[in-house]
């Protein structure tokens, strides 16, 4: 089972980028943060809402030196057909990030999100830092969509603590909120202000 602090399993796969097929590697993104999210299938119900939401807010991730990669067990041809289908018809339209094909299910297995009995991935989301280390994992069931706001909040918190030695982010921390020192004495400064 994957855990926080482990190296993210690298992969090489075909993705749809814009309207083109490209071979991408997770390791190509070293130096950037990556939000890697798995979803069950193209042309379904909850999945397009998530795929579209990540695309519509992609600029917020890009401004944080972060790439978004969506992965499902569909082929690159199905991804392309879904992208070429209008949103009003259940498609996702043009996307601002790659959709990765995991037809062999190797990536989903490596990230421990594959539901073997159905052959599709749970809604796994991994935040991977610039060194390729997993910093956050969430896995939702098939019927429950994720929150873009929460993904951005956690990403910002991870970036903050990685750039501020000995500081930690308390519950519901938002960018600009007070942090605390990871020290038994200095942390009291935070607690005394609450």
38-61 confidence digits (pLDDT tens): 999 999 999 999 999 999 999 999
- Quick one: pLDDT at residue 154? 98
Question: How many structural domains is the chain composed of?
Answer: 1
- Quick one: pLDDT at residue 5? 98
Residue 84 in domain: yes
What b-and-e string marks burial along 56-80, b requiring 16 or more CB atoms within 10 Å of the CB?
ebbebbeebebbbbbbbbbebebbb
Q: Which residues contact 168 (CB under 8 A, 6 or more apart)?
A: 161, 179, 180, 181, 182
CATH code for the domain in which residue 59 is found: 3.40.30.10
- Quick one: pLDDT at residue 118? 96
Active site residues: 47
Residue 62 in domain: yes
Residue 31 in domain: yes
With beta carbons less than 8 A apart as the criterion, state whether 123 and 140 touch.
Answer: yes
Residue 120 in domain: yes
Q: Which residues contact 79 (CB under 8 A, 6 or more apart)?
A: 15, 16, 42, 72, 99, 101
With beta carbons less than 8 A apart as the criterion, state whether 156 and 176 touch.
Answer: no
Residue 174 in domain: no
- Quick one: pLDDT at residue 109? 98
Residue 186 in domain: no
Residues above pLDDT 70, as percent of the chain = 100
Residue 151 in domain: no
- Quick one: pLDDT at residue 71? 98
Residue 5 in domain: no
- Quick one: pLDDT at residue 1? 87
Could you read off the pLDDT tens digit of each residue along the chain, which spans 194 residues? 899 999 999 999 999 999 999 999 999 999 999 999 999 999 999 999 999 999 999 999 999 999 999 999 999 999 999 999 999 999 999 999 999 999 999 999 999 999 999 999 999 999 999 999 999 999 999 999 999 999 999 999 999 999 999 999 999 999 999 999 999 999 988 999 88
Q: Which residue range is the domain that position 84 belongs to?
A: 12-146
């Amino acid at each position: 089972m994957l855990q926080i602090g482990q190296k993210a399993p690298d992969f090489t796969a075909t993705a749809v980028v814009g309207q083109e097929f490209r071979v991408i590697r997770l390791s190509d993104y070293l130096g950037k943060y990556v939000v890697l999210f798995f979803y069950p299938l193209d042309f379904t119900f909850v999945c397009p809402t998530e795929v579209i939401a990540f695309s519509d807010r992609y600029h917020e991730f890009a401004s944080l030196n972060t790439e978004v990669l969506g992965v499902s067990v569909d082929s690159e041809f199905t991804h392309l057909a879904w992208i070429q289908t209008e949103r009003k018809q259940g498609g996702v339209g043009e996307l601002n990030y790659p959709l990765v094909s995991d037809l062999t299910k190797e990536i989903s297995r490596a990230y421990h999100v594959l539901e073997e009995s159905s052959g599709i991935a749970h809604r796994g989301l991994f935040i991977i830092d610039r060194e390729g280390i997993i910093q956050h994992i969430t896995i939702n069931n098939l019927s429950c969509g994720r929150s873009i706001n929460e993904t951005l909040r956690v990403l910002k918190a991870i970036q903050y603590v990685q750039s501020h030695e000995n500081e930690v982010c308390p519950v519901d921390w938002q960018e600009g909120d007070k942090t605390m020192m990871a020290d038994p004495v200095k942390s009291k400064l935070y607690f005394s202000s609450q």
